[in-house]
Amino acid sequence: MNYSVHFLEKQQDFDQIMQSIADAPWIGFDTEFVGEKTYIPVLCLLQIIAGNDIYLVDTLEITNLDAFLDIVEDPKVLKITHAGDNDYRLLYTLFGAVPSNTFDTQIAAGFVGYNYPAGFGKIVEKEMRVTLAKSHTVADWAVRPLDQKALNYAVEDVKYLPDLHEKLTKKMRKHQRESWCREENRKWESESFYIVDPNKELLGSDLVHHLDFKEKIFLMRLYKWRVQRAIELNIPREQVLQSRHISTVLRSTKDGPNAFRSNRTLSEGVWKKNLDAWQVLWRDKATEEEQAFLDGLPKPLPENPEREWTMELLYHFVKKQCIEHEISAALLLPKGDFNRLKSGSEDFDKSLLVGWRAELMGAELVEWMKKGGKVKVKWEDGYCKLTM
């Protein structure tokens, strides 16, 4: 199909176009942004496909995207994306927009035999028999004027979305998996999906479990301080303080400048500029809120080789189910989530053992995954018997 490509850089033109497609049954879209230099990514280009038209929106010139965001939030309009969680997270961060009625080709592909997450080019090549150019995957989208090759790449990012939606939907319908895909996409349509726990870094740190109470308080404050400074300066957190230096700051702050001078891994300019602030964080008494949070911090479970072996065995059963049904195991139960389940972590997302996942795995396997009890192995003549 031939498409007409329109480059929009005036607010009035953009608003008129968005009004004209507001009642369309579907749109496809993608975003190009730069996030390496700022804490909040800069949206540089918005690509939209509707009917036979593709719109490249210069979001450095057109700053009011309300008309587009209304479409994103409209349940009557289907939104087609590839790896859309990145796009939706950006739209929520910048504008507070929460989408509805979403379809993602990467997720859909995971239900019809592709490994998850499969790249857009791979799916297009297999489904459309088209090889996409890759030369502008890391283009500087903030540069103006945009290179024509970069614009061509931006067009290809949305050009094939409608046809992929149709082809992948037919394949899912054949295997009665449309409702599974819809369930998986629906998680993006709740604001809770975009809310980040302010203590996420602390909870994900193995270091915290080896510290005394005062050190835990300081580590929690240090992570929050780094985010706050990044927001104030609008620079990435790593430019405020690299993650690899967190433990150095933790060990050295209480002992002052001499402790930092004897450790050459951290730049003198960084610690001299921030030491006063870090020492305040170290000295201040814990608040009731901090005390309550740390009191409720889950303690790591003792090593349990039997449970670890059992859970790994069960995960192989899960993967076997996925192979037989041509569904990506990484979509059904991502390895990181499985590791949290295996370790008995309290922050395991229990929704990963219900819905379409439970339907695919079966009631018995789901119960085994929940309990994680001991599996007994009995070797018989010609077969192996497992009981729990």
pLDDT confidence of residue 124: 97
pLDDT confidence of residue 387: 81
| 370 Cβ contact partners less than 8 Å away, ≥ 6 residues apart | 353
Give how far the C-alpha of residue 59 lies from the chain's centroid of Cα atoms, to the nearest Å: 23
Local confidence band at 80 (pLDDT 50, 70, 90 cut-offs): very high
pLDDT tens for 314-337 read 889 899 999 999 999 999 999 889
pLDDT confidence of residue 214: 95
CATH architecture of 4-194: 2-Layer Sandwich (3.30)
Is the pLDDT confidence value at 136 over 60? no
Domain ranges across the chain:
4-194, 200-295, 305-387
pLDDT confidence of residue 138: 63
Amino acid at 17: I
pLDDT confidence of residue 323: 94
Amino acid at 333: L
pLDDT confidence of residue 377: 86
pLDDT confidence of residue 184: 97
Is the fold of 200-295 the same as that of 305-387? yes
Query: In whole angstroms, how far apart are CA 191 and each of 90, 216, 309, 331?
Result: 13, 30, 37, 21
Pick the CATH number of 305-387 from 1.10.10, 3.30.450, 1.10.150, 3.40.50: 1.10.150
Q: Mean of the per-residue pLDDT values for the chain? A: 93
Local confidence band at 49 (pLDDT 50, 70, 90 cut-offs): very high
Tell me the whole-structure pTM to 2 decimals. 0.90
- Rounded mean pLDDT of 296-318? 83
pLDDT tens for 194-251 read 999 989 899 888 888 889 999 999 999 999 999 999 999 999 999 999 999 999 999 9
- Encoded tokens for 83: 């790896």
Name the fold adopted by 200-295.
Answer: DNA polymerase; domain 1 (1.10.150)
Segments in the chain forming alpha helices (H): 11-21, 66-73, 84-95, 105-110, 120-128, 148-159, 161-174, 178-186, 200-203, 213-233, 237-240, 246-252, 257-261, 268-283, 288-295, 305-325, 329-332, 335-343, 356-361, 363-371
